[in-house]
Amino acid sequence: MDYSEMHPQQVKELIREGKIDFQTSGMCNGYAQANLCILPEDYAFDFLLFCMRNPKPCPILEVGDVGSKEIKTMASHGDICKDFPKYRIWENGILKEEVTDISDYWRNDLVYFLIGCSFSFESEMLEAEIPVRHIQEGKNVPMFNTNIKLQPAGKFHGNMVVSMRPIPNDLVVKSVNVTAAMPRVHGAPVQIGNPEAIGISDIMKPDYGDSVTVNEGEIPVFWACGVTPQNAVMQSKPPFAITHAPGHMFITDVKNVNLKY
């Protein structure tokens, strides 16, 4: 089945029916995808501030009112509890369970945060004839912990997580330009060609996702990644949290071109 040309509403119906419970890279070309973090009200101000202070890895797309499950801006009739293919339930920073619906876990003191995802700009890269290796190879994007320290805020601190895409030499500048135009889905790369400078010793051993082939004449290019806020949250060990499962995103009804400031 080719999901790349489907409308987000069609894919979300398949997700609600349980027919899509796998990762969403390459689906619904042109539409922005979003990461998820759900926290109790007590943690909401610190987390929102953390995101604002670190907009590159944590670009906020939408935040719910306290207790609200409804997604209003990034989709019409979105349900935060049902519209991701897979969720993770956390207690005190420890992963407890993966589920495909969180309605039974919802509480009136919870606040959801939708955060921009680099999957959003991949269709723009393909449009610009820049290859996206993990899509070519049918894998999840490789993601790495780095030594790039983030601005702390209250309970939250941590280092940046990045995603990596191998880019042919002569398309590196183009890949910068294409992604720089989309700051709300991570924007321009944070590192080009020198993984060691940001604390990555082996690009074939990602900390999250899958490894992908890097061909002769290609440069590894690193973008800020939406796993960053999840990592920061887990380090602070909140009593309860819900996130999406890595790579299993919310597909918004908003086109990337409408996300530019």
Give the binding site for a second copy (CB under 8 A). Answer: 41, 44-45, 48-49, 52-53, 60, 63, 65-66, 111, 153-154, 183, 261
For a second copy, the closer CB: 67 or 93: 67
Burial of 33 (0-12, 13-18, 19+ CB in 10 A): buried
For a second copy, the closer CB: 52 or 173: 52
For a second copy, the closer CB: 30 or 183: 183
Burial of 231 (0-12, 13-18, 19+ CB in 10 A): buried
Beta-ladder partners of 223: 163
For a second copy, the closer CB: 6 or 63: 63
Q: CB of residue 169 vs a second copy: minimum separation in angstroms?
A: 28
Give the whole-angstrom CA distance, residue 201 versus residue 207: 11
In this structure, how many other beta carbons lie within 10 angstroms of the beta carbon of residue 257?
11
Alpha-helical regions (H) of the chain: 8-16, 41-53, 119-127, 133-136, 172-180, 227-235
Q: CB of residue 110 vs a second copy: minimum separation in angstroms?
A: 13
Q: Which pair of structure tokens corresponds to residue 47? A: 């987390």
Q: CB of residue 41 vs a second copy: minimum separation in angstroms?
A: 7
Q: CB of residue 122 vs a second copy: minimum separation in angstroms?
A: 21
For a second copy, the closer CB: 151 or 169: 151
Q: CB of residue 84 vs a second copy: minimum separation in angstroms?
A: 22
